[in-house]
Chains A and B, each alone.
Chain A
Amino acid sequence: MANVEKQVQLIKDISGSDPYKCMRCGKCSASCPSYNEMDIKPHQFASYIIRGDIDELVESKAAWKCLSCFACIERCPRDVQPGKLVDAARQIVERQREGDYLQPDEIPALLDPETPQQLLVSAFRRYRR
């Protein structure tokens, strides 16, 4: 239980967004280009985190089908930013592998087939500025 709370907190910390702000309007799902590929839809991310079903979210296909196109982040009227939430879920998986913080020049050497492409794409989009 405590572990779940910690994970929820971690997701909030990494994403910097508050799942409780979600009003289930579905603009994210409407905007999502990967919608059909996802088992958990973008507008459901917040509910999973609020309920504490982090494992399910982390193990979902959805987490790795997100293209990090950021359309949902851009359009979310409530600043819940589902794309950031799911990105945080991915980060949790990766951090459990103890691959925590990286310097940019370390990346090429670390690029092993085990690192999910999606994580890199998202990371680059997220930190591009």
Chain B
Amino acid sequence: MSMNEEKKEYRPLIVAFCCNWCSYAGADLAGSSRLSYPADVKIIRVPCSGRVNPMFILRAFERGADGVIICGCHPGDCHYSTGNYYARRRMALLFSMLEYIGVENGRTRVEWCSAAEGAKFSKTMNEFCEKIQSLGENVRLGDLRCKN
């Protein structure tokens, strides 16, 4: 890994997919409670964590995201009953696959966050940003076919 002499302050790019019913509302609550987290996090509203197609996640990485987090309702609390269960399986398999091909653990995360958990949302985002900051720029996931 090459290191520049003067280290520019690295700011990660983080995409968060939040379900409309729990996590997006939780993010709103974090906002109205003024519980800050880094501006590196950009939220995309989706109806349900089950709507998050693995394609979206890979797309974000390919376009230069350093971390992707998916937030949904707690298991059992999905607004659509079951969407988060499927998301949980999908993401478990996808994350395990990413680890398998040698991508650093921690660039992807799933967190269950209810509409009442503004504090948890903020805490999660702070932790996630810190983790991505420590991992640095995403190189490996930029091109899984690995042709440079």
Touch between A and B in complex, CB under 8 Å? no
Report B's interface with A, CB cutoff 8 A: none
